[in-house]
Amino acid sequence: MPPLNPEDPSTGSAASRAEEARQALLARIGNFVETHDLAVTASNLAAICGGLSGSHPELAQAFAAREIAGEPIDQRWLDTLGRLDPDNHSRIAELEALMDKLEYSLMRFAQTARSAQSETSDHRGALGARIEAMAEIELDSAAAGDLAQVLDLSRTMLARIEQVESAMARSQAETERLRENLAKARLEADVDHLTGLPNRRAFERRLVSAAIEARAKGEKLSLGFCDVDRFKLINDNHGHEAGDRVLCAVAATLNEHAGDACFVARHGGEEFVLLFYGMDKQAARAKLDAIRLAQAARRLMNRDTGQPFGRVTFSGGVAEVTEDSDTRSALGRADAALYRAKQEGRNRVMVG
């Protein structure tokens, strides 16, 4: 086959078509983001690109079905797609397993280094004492010369052992620092740095462990989503920094009123998620509704302008995890309940 000629019109045409397709896809993605008023985030762009390019058929079908039904493609719905994605959940589990293996390997190395250092130190001390004792022995000149060579070699070996021991001590200290840094990184990776609450990653792990424990003990477990009502208007009217302070205030209300029987996390954007230990869906709904009332009673003011935010409320959706063998199905039911709460007027909690 003859080599491709860059000046060949057919070659140029193929390259031109590829470039046109790329530009068209970028334009479609941009129009999609603007049309549906979505945030420009890595996760959003990945989902939109997957759906519009056809590289992710399931997403493409979900987008098409949503548009045909005339239902909104908003941030809440995109977040729902993300949390119902089993592949994403398995990737998180794989990452956790890898980090556990790394932490175990570091621990074993530190233990081995400590043991080797201790044994080396003991042998070095015993060998040093023996060398000095042998140096005191009186021998004839020929034997004394041979012994002196042995003692010199022994002292050289002893010095080398001491150097190895120091290197092992440094390796042990470095390993301990790595373990501490890994533990710190894992802790920081579980925290939402705006609100100080656990984040979505931490919630995903807690949901799995809590569901396993609840089923083993025959106890109830429920979860609830809550989403700040008309949060976009707060950002539009008061600015994003003020919006962030509103999210912190809502997070504080949730954390303050949830109690020890609840796990509260920020799920992303203006959405929070709660786990209700030992509660069926009706008890969980009552608990979340009490928190909703507490939040609605607060009067928040923009400290920069002195202007009130008005009443900041949230809508909620609750589902029972333990009424279905599929733990993650509760996420879909709670999300559907949250959607109904929004549709029926906001500032309410529905059960899924």
pLDDT over 90 at 283, yes or no: yes
Instruction: Give whichever of 9-13, 37-41, 226-230, 234-238 has the largest mean pLDDT.
Output: 226-230
45 and 118 in a single domain? The answer is no
Average of per-residue pLDDT across 115-141: 69
In a domain, 39, yes or no: yes
Q: What is the total count of domains within the chain?
A: 3
Measure the CA–CA gap between 305 and 284, rounded to whole angstroms.
37
119 and 98 in a single domain? The answer is yes
Q: What is the pLDDT of residue 190?
A: 85
In a domain, 107, yes or no: yes
222 and 298 in a single domain? The answer is yes
205 and 327 in a single domain? The answer is yes
Q: Is the CB of residue 236 less than 8 Å from the CB of residue 229?
A: no
168 and 133 in a single domain? The answer is yes
250 and 293 in a single domain? The answer is yes
Measure the CA–CA gap between 135 and 161, rounded to whole angstroms.
20
Lowest average pLDDT, out of 91-95, 240-244, 289-293, 299-303, goes to: 91-95
347 and 207 in a single domain? The answer is yes
217 and 347 in a single domain? The answer is yes
Q: Is the CB of residue 195 less than 8 Å from the CB of residue 251?
A: yes
Last residue of some domain: 24, 44, 73? 73
Measure the CA–CA gap between 109 and 58, rounded to whole angstroms.
45
In a domain, 284, yes or no: yes
Q: What is the pLDDT of residue 314?
A: 98
Residues in the chain: 352
- How many of the other CB atoms lie within 10 Å of CB of 37? 11
In a domain, 81, yes or no: no
211 and 322 in a single domain? The answer is yes
118 and 161 in a single domain? The answer is yes
Measure the CA–CA gap between 163 and 150, rounded to whole angstroms.
20
Mean pLDDT of the chain: 82
Q: What is the pLDDT of residue 45?
A: 84
163 and 255 in a single domain? The answer is no
In a domain, 215, yes or no: yes
- Residues of the chain above pLDDT 90, percent: 37
Measure the CA–CA gap between 19 and 30, rounded to whole angstroms.
17
The side-by-side arrangement of strands in the sheet containing 314-320 is 262-268, 271-277, 221-228, 314-320, 349-351
The closest of 346, 348, 349, 339 to 72, measured between CA atoms, is 339
**pLDDT confidence tier of residue 176, bands split at 50, 70 and 90:** confident
In a domain, 334, yes or no: yes
Average of per-residue pLDDT across 223-251: 94
**pLDDT confidence tier of residue 165, bands split at 50, 70 and 90:** confident
Which two structure tokens, joined as six digits, stand for 82?
């993300």
Last residue of some domain: 189, 223, 256? 189
In a domain, 43, yes or no: yes
Q: What is the pLDDT of residue 6?
A: 47
Angle between helices 42-53 and 57-68 (to 10 degrees): 90
Q: Does 180 qualify as catalytic in the annotation?
A: no
pLDDT over 70 at 324, yes or no: yes
Q: What is the pLDDT of residue 231?
A: 93
pLDDT over 80 at 100, yes or no: no
pLDDT 10s digits, 185-204: 666 678 898 999 999 888 98
In a domain, 306, yes or no: yes
Q: Is the CB of residue 350 less than 8 Å from the CB of residue 344?
A: yes
326 and 234 in a single domain? The answer is yes
pLDDT over 90 at 337, yes or no: yes
Last residue of some domain: 151, 166, 189? 189
Global pTM exceeds 0.85? no
Q: What is the pLDDT of residue 41?
A: 75
Domain that holds residue 43: 9-73
Catalytic residue from among 165, 270, 271, 320: 270
